[in-house]
């Protein structure tokens, strides 16, 4: 099985970008180790602090964020980083040519129940012209690499540099990511969907109609029975979609008038959309491709409908009607 760096060189990825990706995978090994120590590492539970999202920070959120920030800012190719856990971006190497946006530990609410969590990352080129304040505000189509590390029974790295999606599994005996699946293709059809059903009464009518028709099964307009999964960690749900197909959505809902969306564009929706499109799926906010959205803020949130092409299109058709 091929190791990560030779596989990236075989794809003619630049040495600068390889250096950034190598830094990310190195940080992930430390995060994986601490997570797999669980309570023994004394890092479970919450801090007394809140992040800019107004969310209580878990100890591992802070640890993962600090580790990734320190290591990336020590990489000569990284000009700046943006993190879910940081109010604003943090400047790195003056002549670095890459920007890295990341969610250090997606699925934090799963940490204390030993559930799936992961690190999501998105890599952009530092624009030559724009002023520093707006350098991260690039559409997802501008990404040069994206992926996630999934800290599950196996620690996995799933990655695209625009040449398809490859999956690597961490061989704990030698501390190397080895390629275990390459050129992932998401099945166009599926009978599996992922949504937090407890929000059903708060969705827009189109999503209520769509999900209602899925639940109607064989006797309904979809003429087949569906299964449902909800990991409450986007990284776990998207990994299932990449691995066997499915539709994942976190749509608009009316619970908080000032915050109708949950998922963040720059370091959740865009990187996952890059992976899904590279694997032959669709990723939309309900009206347009997610990667076509022009960001206005590094922490902006967006609706997400992604996965198997035919099923996402069916959902979008309900939103067109
Ligand atoms: P946390 O990181 O705060 O646990 O949120 C995870 C997440 O952003 C995304 O990974 C999940 O898909 C979604 O939120 C789960 O949200 P609900 O807890 O509302 O189901």
Distance 107 CA to ligand 1 centre (A): 5
Residue pLDDT, tens place only, 290-308: 999 999 999 999 999 999 9
- Nearest partner of 214 among 312, 309, 280, 287, judged by Cα: 312
d(CA 170, CA 157): 8
Tokens matching residue 106: 């997606």
pLDDT score at 45? 79
Number of domains in the chain: 2
Q: How confident is the model at residue 135 (pLDDT cuts 50, 70, 90)?
A: very high
Residue pLDDT, tens place only, 59-72: 889 999 999 999 99
Q: Do 39 and 176 belong to one domain?
A: yes
Distance 204 CA to ligand 1 centre (A): 20
pLDDT score at 49? 81
Average pLDDT of the chain? 95
| Position 67 in a domain | yes
Q: Do 63 and 135 belong to one domain?
A: yes
| Interstrand relation of 145-151 and 155-160 (parallel, antiparallel or unpaired) | antiparallel
Q: Do 235 and 309 belong to one domain?
A: yes
Domain CATH code at residue 159:
3.30.540.10
Sole residue written with tokens 């969590």 = 117
| Position 186 in a domain | no
Ligand 1 atom 16, closest CA: 232
Tokens matching residue 144: 């040069």
Cα first-last separation, the chain: 48
Q: Do 234 and 258 belong to one domain?
A: yes
| 66 three-state secondary structure | helix
Q: Is 166 annotated as a binding residue?
A: no
Q: Is 212 annotated as a binding residue?
A: no
From the alpha carbon of 233, which atom of ligand 1 is closest? 10
Give the whole-number percent of the chain exceeding pLDDT 70: 100
Q: Do 245 and 314 belong to one domain?
A: yes
Residue pLDDT, tens place only, 7-25: 999 999 999 999 999 999 9
Distance 318 CA to ligand 1 centre (A): 25
- Choosing from 128, 156, 181, the residue where a domain stops is 181
- Decide which of 133 and 296 is more confident: 296
d(CA 136, CA 312): 28
- Choosing from 138, 158, 181, the residue where a domain stops is 181
Q: Is 242 annotated as a binding residue?
A: no
| Position 187 in a domain | no
d(CA 102, CA 84): 7
Distance 278 CA to ligand 1 centre (A): 24
| Interstrand relation of 192-194 and 227-228 (parallel, antiparallel or unpaired) | parallel
- Choosing from 124, 157, 181, the residue where a domain stops is 181
Q: Do 206 and 315 belong to one domain?
A: yes
Q: Do 119 and 163 belong to one domain?
A: yes
- Decide which of 175 and 132 is more confident: 175
The DSSP-derived string for 261-296 is: --EEIIIIIHHHHHHHHHTT-EEESSSSBGGG---S
Residue pLDDT, tens place only, 206-232: 999 999 999 999 999 999 999 999 999
Which residues span the domain enclosing 116? Answer: 4-181
Ligand 1 atom 1, closest CA: 107
| Position 254 in a domain | yes
Are residues 22 and 9 in contact, defined by beta-carbon separation less than 8 angstroms?
no
Q: Do 234 and 168 belong to one domain?
A: no
Side-chain-side CA neighbours of residue 244 (13 Å): 9
| Position 251 in a domain | yes
pLDDT score at 41? 80
Domain CATH code at residue 275:
3.40.190.80
Q: Do 199 and 169 belong to one domain?
A: no
| 21 three-state secondary structure | helix
The pTM of this model reads: 0.97
Q: Is 131 annotated as a binding residue?
A: no
Tokens matching residue 126: 């530092």
Q: Among 35, 102, 232, which residue has the most ligand 1 atoms within 8 Å of its CB, making it the best to mutate?
A: 232
Q: Do 209 and 267 belong to one domain?
A: yes
Ligand 1 neighbours, Cβ below 6 Å, are: 55, 106-109, 196, 232-234, 250, 262-263
Ligand 1 atom 17, closest CA: 232
| Position 201 in a domain | yes
Q: How confident is the model at residue 55 (pLDDT cuts 50, 70, 90)?
A: confident
Q: Do 54 and 126 belong to one domain?
A: yes
Q: Do 145 and 205 belong to one domain?
A: no
Residue pLDDT, tens place only, 151-206: 999 999 999 999 999 999 999 999 999 999 999 999 999 999 999 999 999 999 99
Residue 52 has pLDDT above 80, yes or no: no
From the alpha carbon of 231, which atom of ligand 1 is closest? 12
Q: Is 122 annotated as a binding residue?
A: no
pLDDT score at 56? 74
């Amino acid at each position: 099985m091929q190791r990560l760096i030779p596989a990236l060189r075989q794809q003619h990825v630049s040495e600068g970008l390889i250096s950034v990706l190598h830094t990310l995978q190195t940080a992930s090994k430390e995060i994986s180790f601490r997570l797999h120590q669980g309570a023994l590492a004394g890092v479970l539970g919450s801090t007394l602090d809140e992040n800019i999202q107004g969310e209580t920070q878990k100890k591992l959120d802070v640890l993962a964020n600090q580790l990734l920030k320190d290591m990336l800012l020590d990489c000569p190719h990284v000009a700046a980083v943006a993190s879910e856990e940081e109010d604003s971006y943090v400047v790195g190497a003056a002549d670095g040519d890459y920007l890295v946006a990341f969610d250090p530990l997606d699925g934090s609410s799963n940490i204390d129940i030993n559930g799936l969590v992961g690190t999501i990352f998105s890599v952009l080129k530092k624009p030559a012209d724009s002023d520093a304040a707006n350098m991260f505000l690039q559409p997802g189509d501008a990404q040069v690499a994206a992926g996630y590390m999934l800290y599950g029974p196996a620690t996995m790295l799933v990655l695209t540099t625009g040449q398809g999606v490859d999956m690597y599994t961490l061989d704990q005996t030698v501390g190397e990511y080895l390629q275990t699946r390459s050129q992932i293709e998401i099945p166009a059809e599926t009978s599996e969907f992922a949504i937090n059903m407890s929000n059903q009464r708060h969705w827009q009518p189109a999503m209520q109609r769509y999900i209602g028709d899925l639940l109607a099964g064989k006797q309904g307009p979809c003429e087949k029975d569906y299964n449902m999964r909800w990991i409450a960690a986007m990284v776990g749900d998207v990994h299932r979609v990449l691995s066997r197909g499915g539709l994942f959505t976190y749509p608009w809902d009316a619970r908080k008038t000032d915050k109708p969306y949950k998922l963040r564009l720059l370091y959740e929706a865009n990187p996952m959309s890059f992976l899904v499109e590279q694997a032959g799926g669709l990723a939309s906010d309900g009206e347009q491709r997610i990667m076509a959205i022009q960001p206005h803020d590094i922490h902006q949130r967006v609706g997400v409908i992604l996965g198997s092409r035919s099923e996402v299109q069916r959902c979008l058709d309900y939103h067109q009607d």
